[in-house]
Structure 1
Amino acid sequence: MLRELGMTRIFGNPGSTELPLFRDYPEDFSYELGLQEAVVVGMADGYAQATRNASFVNLHSAAGVGHAMANIFTAFKNRTPMVITAGQQARSLLQFDPFLHSRDATDLPKPYVKWSCEPARAEDVPQALARAYYIAMQEPRGPVFVSIPADDWDKPCDPIVLRHVGFETRPDPRTLALVGEALDAAQRPAFVVGAAVDRGQAWDAVVALAERHQARVFVAPMSGRCSFPEDHPLFAGFLPAMRERIVQLLGGHDVVFAVGAAAFTYHVEGEGPFVPEGTQLYQLIEDPAIAAWAPVGTAAVGNIRMGVEELLLRPQAVQRPAPERKPAPPVPAAPGAGERMSVAFAMHTLACVRDPHSIIVEEAPSSRPVIQTYLPIFHSATFFTMCSGGLGHSMPAAVGVALARPDSKVIAVIGDGSAMYAIQALWSAANMRLPITFVILKNRRYAALQDFSRVFGYREGEKVEGTELPDIDFVALARGHGCDGVHVQDAAQLAQALRDAIAHPRPIVVEVEVA
């Protein structure tokens, strides 16, 4: 069944209750070993996003699921299709509260799975796995969970006949007509694009619709994918997760169309209106729950690509003048003598030396606004990060993306604090011989928390406890996990070091000292 579904890679870190699954393991299947369960789920997340098919994960009972929960949460927020299985003690032992069993197995990963099941009979396990796949792939996609007692694998059962199940739902045409009429009548429309545009293969359709309406295009707060080319004349930049700033940036637009995005994701308390006065908000989203909590506006629910393509079938709208183009950022200055380079300088240098079709996998939250400014993304499915805010996702996700896209160069841009949440991913990259370039931005602190402390009343320069990092040697960590590594402190050496690392045939860590 898994072979028919194209799920011949199993991502896991095995425990005792999973061992029966791997007897007589077929030669056309591979086992992608991660050294910790959060790494396993992160790899599976990147692989599923890059292949656009559900990945198969095998975890160990309650302890393994517990280790994995941070990245299960992220997979849920990323809308990543994933069939997660976990071992369970033998059914005959469960009444005795045995060692390493999961007492409430189906409740443990909730609420961050779409469906959770421990089949009532061993014979029902294959049918449960088939159902799990269908649910994971149904929009809005996401992870599902099946707990499997160890002795179930030895029970015979009838073979599963896979069925055709539609995973996409066409949005209501009457609601789409309201969206289309509003866009046609708008004087100064704006789009806000989210991760679902790229997930749903709607990139080209959204570009065409934006060009038809000469709409400025903003990126939604906390989007985990790039959904519009950032060198396009209509690209207007990134919205922060702050209500007042969103209203300010969208001011002057009479119609705002949030496509594939929540309207809106906030990170701090705010007050006042949700959209500028006199602005109409419309939304196209594949998740009915997001449509339900949107505080204002009209929402169409269904597949993003289908909805945008239907809007493109409307008669050509009245021609509008092109909006003013977003100015290019200034070239960041090189550091002075004895100074560390800025993140802006490092990212501008990386942008200059990388192939624009290479894939960026990012997890550097404190540097994200600078990365967005100086490391632009131009093509669909070439940028991945987490929609959750949970750390420890992107280093292993880069491994999964590289497995799925062997013909593309994968570059992971990771903060030093983030890297330590899933550093074992380096071993998996080395073990699989994946030529990933890991760029570690080393500022020796949890800078995101220090920057964010002002929101909670900290004074300028006031110490924020627990946010200073020791001088971690990432080159030594890389070599200890089987990867090559290089340390860069001199800004004049960065460009060549990055060129060499990108051309390197094995995984390599580039540790970059930044201010």
Structure 2
Amino acid sequence: MNVVNSATPATPATPEVPAASAAPVTVRQAVFDLLRGHGVDTVFGNPGSTELPMFRDFPADFRYVLGLQESVVVAMADGHAQATRRLAVVNLHSAAGVGHAMGSLYTAAKTRAPLVVIAGQQSRSLLHGEPYLLNEDPGLLASPHVKWSREPARPEDVPAAIARACHLALTPPMGPVMVSVPADDWDRPASPVAPRKVGTVLNADPELLAETGRALAGARSPAFVVGAEVDREQALDDVVELAEAHGARVWAAPMSHRCSFPERHPLFAGFLPPVREGVVAELAGHDLVLVLGAPAFTYHVPGEGPFLSPGTRLYQFTDDAQRAAWTPEGVSVLTSVRPAVRQILAAHGPDRPRSRPAPRRPAERVTVTGPYVTPSYLVQTLADLRPKGSVIVEEAPSTRPVMCEHLPNDGPDSFFTTAGGALGYGLPAAVGMALARPDRQVIAVLGDGSAMYAIQALWSAARLGVRLVVVVVDNGGYATVDSFARRFGIDKPSGTELGGLDFPGLAAAQGCSGEQVTRPEALGQALRRAFESPLPYVVSVVVRQ
């Protein structure tokens, strides 16, 4: 496997006042000035005692977005960062708050969300002992789910540490970083730190890129596998153009958490399963597979045998050196997807005419003859009624397969889901996205079990007045766990039944509107009311197979 990296040279911005000659300010002033320079005007947080000095005389041009638990806070910031493609800043409380946030930090690492987490710490004057709320090892606590974690050695080093954190969060592959700041640092003097520009685009090695282009041009039957980097880099239109130029069938990578190819396009072939043998079977017959912005491949269950059929060549474009390193065969090119695809488009067309592959058969329309709403009927109705340009945020694992069939996504930034499988992401991430994009209807599709991981995010949604519709798929349990248990020969595992959850009541208690749907004929009108509501609206749909 060949792995090559060539970074685009960065062009530093010229600071208005050289940092070395600037008059000292407080650590707090230097940090907020630095964040302004990065276009940040929002802090997501849940405050505790050790963070309070950070917010003395809180700047009028910043807003503090309160979440009612730290995992909710991080997921809201994650959604906001993905929707804006900009840095998001999170404030967490010392060791306990960081601990609460770990599940969402894990997910943020998988979604590649550029987050700067500023965590509280006890005062330096107490650190020699064992004070209450001590974070004993700030560099270790959040590992390995942050790219970098540091507690500066001196108060005056805090602004420079946060400047470094901003750049690391935005450098491919993007992801969360953490800086621990003792409570008594914020009022200490420090020198201003001017924001700099750091290149965030990786350019491929020309020889490997040319090799890939020639191989694609000469392939008899190429196939593409697309992942989240395509959508994150706004390369979807370029990938569509490349697929059309080469008549390539296009699959979504296993467990991909964004829509990276229009799912109604005639070249879209479907969703690869997270099973080795399943990937081999789906890609059989293709002599070249080009993986764009995705692992090759993500598996969820053990498998055996080859990774691809004999005679199939694998090429991969990714901005993640770790991902490229563990790709088991073929050629991995360390690059941002968009410039690499554009260069191939400009230089390499197919060597011979190719016939277009047969399009994927569309799913048949669902009809309901009984008194219950089925998951397929729910998803189909949602597809029929969702506003144009709406965004789906999904965390309903047992419903995801029917969503793949009956709820196609066609455009960039149209679909998001938890990247690492940790529940509790969907609802707060949808709140963060709705806050970032008030021009688009955001729809969270959540399982009943998933919703309860972070139900207090509804309070933040109501307080912020965001345009959000929450559809709860209420099947009375952890249905995906029941399904997966059968792989282990377990008919019915313990602890997977739920009941007595009043989601409209939970919504009302936190300032949102809502209703429950139990019959198919009521579903359409309930969704229409939700889409017309000026407040966040919860539709709880009782489903049965």
Match of 2:530 in 1: 501
Q: Is the 8 A contact 1:335 1:341 kept in 2?
A: no
Match of 1:9 in 2: 42
Q: Within 1, Cα distance between the matches of 2:209 and 2:484?
A: 39
Match of 2:169 in 1: 136
Return closer, same or farther for 1:123/1:28 CA change in 2, 3 Å cut-off. same
SS at match of 2:516: strand
- Which letter maps to 1:346? L
Match of 1:490 in 2: 519
Match of 1:399 in 2: 431
Q: Is the 8 A contact 1:364 1:415 kept in 2?
A: yes
Matches within 5 A, 1:175-254: 175-254=208-287
Q: Deviations over 1:324-347 (max 9, x none)?
A: 0000111112141x3x21111000
Q: Within 1, Cα distance between the matches of 2:348 and 2:317?
A: 20
Question: How far did residue 182 of structure 1 move?
Answer: 1.2
Matched, 1:368 2:397: no
SS at match of 1:403: helix
Q: Within 2, Cα distance between the matches of 1:43 and 1:213?
A: 40
Q: Is the 8 A contact 2:94 2:120 kept in 1?
A: yes
Q: Within 2, Cα distance between the matches of 1:485 and 1:18?
A: 36
The percentage of aligned residue pairs carrying the same residue is 54
Gaps of 5+ in 1: none
Q: Is the 8 A contact 1:356 1:378 kept in 2?
A: no
SS at match of 1:256: strand
Match of 1:127 in 2: 160
Q: Within 2, Cα distance between the matches of 1:367 and 1:316?
A: 40
Match of 2:337 in 1: 304
Question: Cα RMSD between the aligned structures?
Answer: 0.9
Matched, 1:88 2:117: no
Q: 2:187 aligns with which of 154, 163, 167?
A: 154
Q: Is the 8 A contact 1:475 1:511 kept in 2?
A: yes
Q: Within 1, Cα distance between the matches of 2:413 and 2:252?
A: 15
Question: How far did residue 165 of structure 1 move?
Answer: 1.1
Question: How far did residue 470 of structure 1 move?
Answer: 1.7
- Which letter maps to 2:434? A
Q: Deviations over 1:202-229 (max 9, x none)?
A: 1111111011101000000111100000
Match of 1:56 in 2: 89
Matched, 1:443 2:475: yes
Q: Deviations over 1:291-349 (max 9, x none)?
A: 1001111111111111111111114323311100000111112141x3x2111100000
SS at match of 2:445: strand
Q: What is the TM-score normalised by the length of structure 2? A: 0.93
Q: Is the 8 A contact 1:244 1:271 kept in 2?
A: yes
Matches within 5 A, 1:166-181: 166-181=199-214
Gaps of 5+ in 2: 1-33
SS at match of 1:57: strand
Q: Within 2, Cα distance between the matches of 1:456 and 1:173?
A: 48
Q: Is the 8 A contact 1:356 1:377 kept in 2?
A: no
Match of 1:469 in 2: 498
Match of 1:353 in 2: 385
Q: Within 1, Cα distance between the matches of 2:440 and 2:389?
A: 8
Question: How far did residue 57 of structure 1 move?
Answer: 0.2
SS at match of 2:64: strand
Q: Is the 8 A contact 2:214 2:348 kept in 1?
A: no
Q: Which runs of 4+ in 1 moved over 6 A?
A: none
Q: Within 2, Cα distance between the matches of 1:83 and 1:276?
A: 43
Q: Deviations over 1:65-117 (max 9, x none)?
A: 00000000000011111000100000010111100111111110000100111
How many residues in Structure 1 have an aligned counterpart in Structure 2?
510
Q: Within 2, Cα distance between the matches of 1:205 and 1:149?
A: 47
Match of 2:71 in 1: 38
Q: Is the 8 A contact 2:255 2:298 kept in 1?
A: yes
SS at match of 1:46: helix
Question: How far did residue 471 of structure 1 move?
Answer: 2.7
Q: Within 2, Cα distance between the matches of 1:436 and 1:335?
A: 31
SS at match of 1:95: coil
Match of 2:457 in 1: 425
Question: How far did residue 505 of structure 1 move?
Answer: 0.5
Q: Within 1, Cα distance between the matches of 2:95 and 2:239?
A: 43
Q: Within 2, Cα distance between the matches of 1:117 and 1:176?
A: 37
Matches within 5 A, 1:316-327: 316-317=349-350, 318-327=352-361
Question: How far did residue 393 of structure 1 move?
Answer: 0.4
Question: How far did residue 27 of structure 1 move?
Answer: 1.1
Match of 1:273 in 2: 306
Q: Within 2, Cα distance between the matches of 1:354 and 1:163?
A: 41
Q: Is the 8 A contact 2:217 2:348 kept in 1?
A: no
Q: Deviations over 1:258-301 (max 9, x none)?
A: 10010000001000110112211110011010010011111111
Matched, 1:344 2:373: no
Matched, 1:481 2:510: yes
Q: Is the 8 A contact 2:485 2:492 kept in 1?
A: no
Return closer, same or farther for 1:89/1:213 CA change in 2, 3 Å cut-off. same
Q: Within 2, Cα distance between the matches of 1:234 and 1:326?
A: 8
Q: Deviations over 1:181-240 (max 9, x none)?
A: 111111111100000100111111111101110100000011110000001010000011
Question: How far did residue 463 of structure 1 move?
Answer: 1.9
Question: How far did residue 382 of structure 1 move?
Answer: 1.3
Q: What is the TM-score normalised by the length of structure 1? A: 0.98
Matches within 5 A, 1:286-297: 286-297=319-330
Q: Within 2, Cα distance between the matches of 1:307 and 1:323?
A: 24
Q: Within 1, Cα distance between the matches of 2:405 and 2:39?
A: 38
